[in-house]
Amino acid sequence: MRKSKMTTRKLTLITMLTAMAIVANIIENSITLPLVFPGVKLGLANVFAVIALYMFGAKEMLLVNIMRVLLASLLSGRIFSYTFFMSLAGALLSSLVVILFKRRSGLSIIGINCISAAFHGVGQILIVMIVMKSTEIVMYLGVMILLAIPTGLFTGFLSKMIFERIRKENYNA
């Protein structure tokens, strides 16, 4: 993909991606599914961060993710709470790992989403371990990783569809 020279256009697109990620995040947080492990989400907000990574690059993905976590928790009044630090750790860790994987492996956008979903869980569990001074939560890591497969595949196919459409329309040109 050609890199955009128009900074205003890029800025607008990143802002729009961030805005959509914030909305997805807030909607997801308001629906609590007491599934196997409480707190497991689909990760729709991550779709927009991955699209930012594919449209622009690593820096832009980090930007979308950090702004999303900050603004979504600010808007829902959860800023600087434990859930905020959990989302921040999850978003940061998964972004960094995904950036590395995109450069060093032959993964497509679908595999990238699976990795991202899995490391979101790892980051969150790390924060719980630090806050609770307890290692027992590691027992839930298996569940988190197993659930990352369906959610990662879902968001992966979604990102693929969206990204292909963006490429066809040539938004980035």
Binding site for another protein (CB under 8 A): 32, 34, 38-39, 78, 81-83, 86, 105-108, 110-111, 114-115, 118, 128, 131-134, 136-139, 141-146, 148-149, 152-153, 156
How far apart are CB 107 and another protein at their closest, in Å?
5
Return the number of the residue (19 or 162) whose C-beta is nearest another protein: 162
Q: Could you give the angle at the alpha carbon of 150 between the alpha carbons of 147 and 155, nearest 5°?
A: 115
How far apart are CB 16 and another protein at their closest, in Å?
28
The residues, any chain, with a CB within 8 Å of residue 129's CB and separated by 6 or more, are 135, 137, 138
How far apart are CB 116 and another protein at their closest, in Å?
11
Question: Quick one: which of 30, 21, 25 has its CA closest to 162?
Answer: 21
Return the number of the residue (86 or 91) whose C-beta is nearest another protein: 86
Please provide the size of the chain in residues: 173
Return the number of the residue (24 or 98) whose C-beta is nearest another protein: 98
Report how far residue 95's alpha carbon sits from residue 74's, in angstroms, rounded to the nearest whole number. Answer: 21
Return the number of the residue (141 or 166) whose C-beta is nearest another protein: 141
Report how far apart, in Å, the C-alpha atoms of 139 and of each of 59, 85, 145 are: 33, 20, 11
How far apart are CB 10 and another protein at their closest, in Å?
28
The H or E element containing residue 158 is helix 141-169
Return the number of the residue (20 or 141) whose C-beta is nearest another protein: 141
What's the token pair of residue 44?
Answer: 């729709």
How far apart are CB 136 and another protein at their closest, in Å?
4
